Structure 1
Amino acid sequence: MLKRSKLFLLIFFMISTILIVIIYKQFVVEKPKVVFVFRTLDNQYGEIIQAGVEQGCKDFGIDGLVMAPKNGTAEEQMKMLKNVLEEPPDVLVVSPAISPDIISNLEEFVKRNIPVLLIDTDEPWKNKTAYIGTNNIELGRKAGILMGAMLQPGDKVALIGRESSVERERIKGAKVSLEAAGINIAAETLKLSIEDKEDNQNMIKVIETILQQHPDLKGVITSTDYLAIPVVKVLQEQGLTMPVTGGDGISKMVELVEKGTLTGTVAQNPYDMGYLSVQAALKVTRRVKIKRNIDSGVDIITEDNAKQKLDFLNKVLK
């Protein structure tokens, strides 16, 4: 009788152990694996998106891996995607490089039934599961409305962007609002390289030329903060004061508003973009239907909310 009881306890113990291991694997070990491949993380905008991704992975229990090409080139990103495919994740979240070949790389994930979410940069690709990011025409429209509110009908402004579909949409949206407000577009350029950064001499030459050709210019709308900041620098050097808007919401731009150097600007929400991408990826792993376009929103930054925005950025970038 005693031996039979011991045998029963031993069997019970073994079954319990097996059940505990199964439950442990399901709820602790086997987290959804999501890989995030960005174009670059070598600027503050990328760091803010990454902060949102990391917090989202922590909150939603995602096994997340964030990476980006060292030099931000399309060739590097495509090679990185091929390496990711060797140990395929449950979901791929990618900010696609500007290249006609990038979609063929992403199609390889779809062939293996790996959902692909686009973040920050959208593509007219039928097999994407969703796009998470900014409505760029809306961002431009809000920039135009803000500029119109700071100027008078008949005033002249310049529109400056880089050669990408994203920035063309922003300039397109701005033009609609400016024309509705009766603001004249004195100059427009979208020929700057996508590789231009905030200290790029080409940007400085562009704004200096525009100011020479249009000394009565009253405002400048740029497609990104990384173009707006050197514009402000040139204006300060020439002793000029006029409204300038960007589009990213990085600290340097928000500080210019907080200090009163600029009246206001518009800003994407890169932190929300990153966080929402994790939330969407989790739903996809659970076979929950998500929206085809998930809008991370656009903020208008003025002296009333600039400090609050800066405090938030300082917190997430610690």
Structure 2
Amino acid sequence: MPRLLYYLLAAALPVLFGCQKPEEQFTVVVIPKGLTHEHWQSVRRGAERCADDLRAEDGTTVRIIFDGPLRERDAIEQIRIVDRRVATGASGIVLAPQHSRTMTACVKRAADAGVPVVIIDSGLDDPDHFVKYVATDNYNGGCLAARHLIGELKKQGKGKPKLILFRYAVGSQATEDRERGFEETVKKICPDAVWLSTDKYAGATRDSAMREAGPLILQFGNQVDGIFAPNESSASGTADVLRSQGLNKKVLLMGFDASKPLLQSIQEGDVIGSILQDPYRMGYLSTWYCVRYLRGRDVSNGRKDMSESTGEYLVTKENLNSVFTLGLYDPETQAKRTTEELRKGPKR
């Protein structure tokens, strides 16, 4: 090799290989409340889409680990998962806490260990130890549910409807906010409504909801005009019970969230509507904020803007199959959503 060529190559090698900015690599662990509901699968797809976008933009590698308890009422297992993932090298954590108080200590341990936590879906009582909260405005979702249910009942001439508020579980801030929004809005717009039951809880699964709803509807089936069930499993379980007792379409059922059975119930008229969240965007934004924080960015305006709403939308039989609605739950339509929309919000 000529001496001049040798020196030129020797000078070029550091530029070509040694002076390039090293590729950033992060491991973000997404910990849902549970693994059974379709809501969490949309969150997972959103997080993975964010990782794909970041790699395409600047080569950043984000490994997404999806790890949660099998059951949504197993806070002890969720705490163990948080602690284990902190100990095994997570760069950051996206967490949907099962309980607003019980989960605070493990989030603090993560923060003390230098692992930032972005909270999604349900809040924590103590906001001092997480870096961002990305969620539905659940209170407003409950308000939307109340307006739609009362509106449909008034169309039937029922100005003093008899109602059941079928709660989800104690300590789940998201559903408690929905229930509070529903109850307070009904009292404002329909003060003559009669509450047949407001103290029964559906539990974490469709089966538990059916077990609890069965005796409740058997007791009040000849009186009740409308029911609000504040999540997917409680709404699906209640719809099953209404069908089994021949009360579907007679008792108006209002739900929250989406699943294939619940959406089919809306299509068939057994459920008058559901408030849908945007879990795909929730998973995307929470991952994006987590990575930005890991890169040293201020994601909360000096902790003045800790919350980011991902929106809540009334879905009925009339708009069930619109492109916008499909983008909230359908995997193929979700994959077609633009990066700009996912980061800045949809234009309707």
The verdict on a shared fold, with TM-score over 0.5 as the criterion, is yes
1: CA distance between counterparts of 2:213 and 2:122? 26
Q: Which residue of 1 aligns with 2:37?
A: 43
Distance in 1 between residues matched to 2:37 and 2:132, nearest whole Å: 25
Q: Quote the offset at 1:187 in angstroms.
A: 2.3
SS in 1 for 2:285: helix
Indicate yes or no: 2:276 matched with 1:275. no
User: Higher mean Cα deviation, 262-271 or 99-108?
Assistant: 99-108
Instruction: Give the 5 Å matches for 1:256-271.
Output: 256-271=265-280
Query: Mean alpha-carbon deviation: is it higher for 151-160 or for 303-312?
Result: 303-312
Asked if the contact 2:278–2:312 (Cα under 8 Å) also holds between the matched residues in 1, the reply is: yes
- The percentage of aligned residue pairs carrying the same residue is 19
Per-residue deviation, 1:258? 2.1
Deviation at 1:74, TM superposition (A): 1.8
- Stretch deviating more after TM superposition (144-153 or 75-84): 75-84
Amino acid at match of 1:159: L
73-82 or 282-291, which deviates more: 282-291
The Cα shift of 1:220 comes to: 0.5
State the shift of 1:143 in Å. 0.7
Q: Say if 1:177 and 1:87 are closer, same or farther in 2 by CA, change over 3 A.
A: same
SS at match of 2:160: coil
- Shift of the 246–218 alpha-carbon distance from structure 1 to 2, 3 Å rule, reads same
Q: Kindly tell me: are residues 184 and 132 of structure 1, through their superposed partners in 2, closer, same or farther at Cα, counting changes over 3 Å?
A: same
Aligned residue in 2 for 1:157: 163
Determine the C-alpha separation between the residues in 2 that align with 1:206 and 1:246: 19
1:14/1:310 CA distance change after superposition, 3 Å: closer
Task: Tell me if 1:288 matches 2:298.
Answer: yes
Check if 1:175 corresponds to 2:183.
yes
Asked if the contact 1:143/1:245 (under 8 Å) is kept, the reply is yes
> CA separation in 2, counterparts of 1:110 and 1:315?
33
Q: CA 1:221–1:169 in 2, change beyond 3 Å: closer, same or farther? A: same
Q: Does 1:307 align with 2:321?
A: yes
Counterparts of 1:283 and 1:119, CA distance in 2: 16
Please, what TM-score do these two structures have when normalized by structure 1? 0.87
1:105 aligns to what SS in structure 2?
helix
2:145 to 136, 143, 146: 143
- Give the deviation of 1:6 after TM superposition: 4.1
Once residues 51 and 289 of structure 1 are traced to their aligned partners in structure 2, the CA distance between those partners, rounded to angstroms, is 22
Aligned twin of 1:95: 96
Distance 2:150 2:100 in 1: 35
- 1:169-194: CA deviation from partner (whole Å, max 9, x where unpaired): 21111112212222514223344264
Structure 2 Cα separation of the partners of residues 32 and 128 of structure 1: 18
Cα displacement string for residues 73-107 of structure 1 (whole angstroms, at most 9, x for unaligned residues): 22222222222112333321111232754222111
* Conservation of the 8 A alpha-carbon contact between 1:251 and 1:310: no
Using a 3 Å threshold, how does the CA distance of structure 1 residues 19 and 185 change in structure 2: closer, same or farther? Answer: farther
* Structure 2: distance between partners of 1:44 and 1:57: 20
Label 1:283 to 1:188 Cα distance change in 2 as closer, same or farther (>3 A).
farther
The worse-fitting range, judged by mean Cα deviation, of 286-295 and 144-153 is 286-295
Question: Could you say which residue in structure 2 is the equivalent of 1:63?
Answer: 63
How many Å separate the matches in 2 of 1:192 and 1:80? 26
Aligned pairs for 1:1-318 within 5 A: 2-3=2-3, 5-19=4-18, 22-23=20-21, 25-26=22-23, 30-61=24-55, 62-72=62-72, 73-98=74-99, 100-125=101-126, 126-152=128-154, 153-162=159-168, 163-164=170-171, 165-182=173-190, 184-192=193-201, 194-195=203-204, 197-200=205-208, 201-212=210-221, 215-240=222-247, 241-286=250-295, 287-290=297-300, 291-308=305-322, 309-310=325-326, 313-316=329-332
Q: Take 2:110 and 2:29, find their aligned partners in 1: how far apart are those partners?
A: 12
The TM-score, its normalising length taken from structure 2, stands at 0.80
Whole-Å separation in 2 of the counterparts to 1:82 and 1:9: 52
Change (3 A) 1:157 1:211: same
Distance 2:71 2:195 in 1: 35
Structure 2 gap segments, 5+ residues each: 56-61, 336-348
1:42-67: CA deviation from partner (whole Å, max 9, x where unpaired):
22222122122222221223322211
Give the CA deviation at 1:295.
Answer: 0.8
Q: Deviations over 1:259-304 (max 9, x none)?
A: 3333322222222211221222232223133331111111101122
Amino acid at match of 1:138: N
Secondary structure of 2:65's counterpart equals: strand
- Alpha-carbon distance in structure 2 between the residues aligned to 1:12 and 1:253: 66
Q: 1:71 to 1:175 in 2, by over 3 A?
A: closer
Report the CA distance shift for 1:48/1:231 in structure 2 as closer, same or farther (over 3 A).
Answer: same
Across the two proteins, how many residue pairs are aligned to each other?
Answer: 309
Alpha-carbon distance in 1 for matches of 2:118, 2:46: 16
Q: Are 2:134 and 2:308, in contact at CA under 8 Å, matched by a contact in 1?
A: yes
CA distance in 1, matches of 2:219, 2:182: 18
